[in-house]
């Protein structure tokens, strides 16, 4: 039982490049979330999903897209990366109570 697994752990992009962050959970949770965390700040919700095939916008959705084709996976895409998207990205899942977080992806956009 691995919990919430994020890949990759680190990535460096050039401005304008695209990439996809993968989140996988093995707890059969319905709800999944993508947050970003900037230095010295709390977590801000980007997008979330309340079930397979559904997605919704969070607090800071601009510049990101998501997909939940399978219940256990939640993908976060950056179509054209910008320096403002340099951050640590956390995925989380929930059964309807507290969130369980992955270990994060450190993304730098140059």
Identify the residue among 1, 14, 69, 98 touching another protein (CB under 8 A): 98
d(CA 37, CA 8): 16
3-state class percentages of the chain: helix first, strand second, coil last, to nearest 5: 5, 50, 45
The answer to whether 108 contacts another protein (rule: CB under 8 A) is: no
Residue placing its CB nearer to another protein in the complex, 17 or 88 = 88
- Site stretch for another protein (CB under 8 A), options 17-25, 63-71, 77-85, 93-101: 93-101
Contact set for another protein, span 28-67 (CB under 8 A): 31, 33, 35, 40-45, 48, 50, 56, 58-59
* Interacting residue ranges for another protein, rule: CB under 8 A: 4, 31, 33, 35, 40-45, 48, 50, 56, 58-59, 90, 92, 94, 96-104
């Amino acid at each position: 039982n691995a919990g919430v697994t994020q890949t990759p752990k680190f990535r460096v992009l050039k401005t304008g490049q695209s990439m996809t962050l993968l989140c996988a959970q093995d707890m059969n949770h319905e709800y999944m979330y993508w947050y970003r965390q900037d230095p010295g700040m709390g977590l801000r919700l980007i997008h979330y999903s309340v079930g397979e095939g559904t997605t919704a916008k969070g607090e800071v959705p601009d510049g990101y897209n998501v997909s939940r084709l399978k219940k256990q996976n939640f993908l976060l895409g950056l179509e054209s990366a910008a320096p403002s998207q340099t951050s640590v990205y956390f995925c989380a899942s929930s059964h309807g109570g507290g969130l369980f977080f992955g270990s994060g992806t450190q993304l730098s956009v140059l």
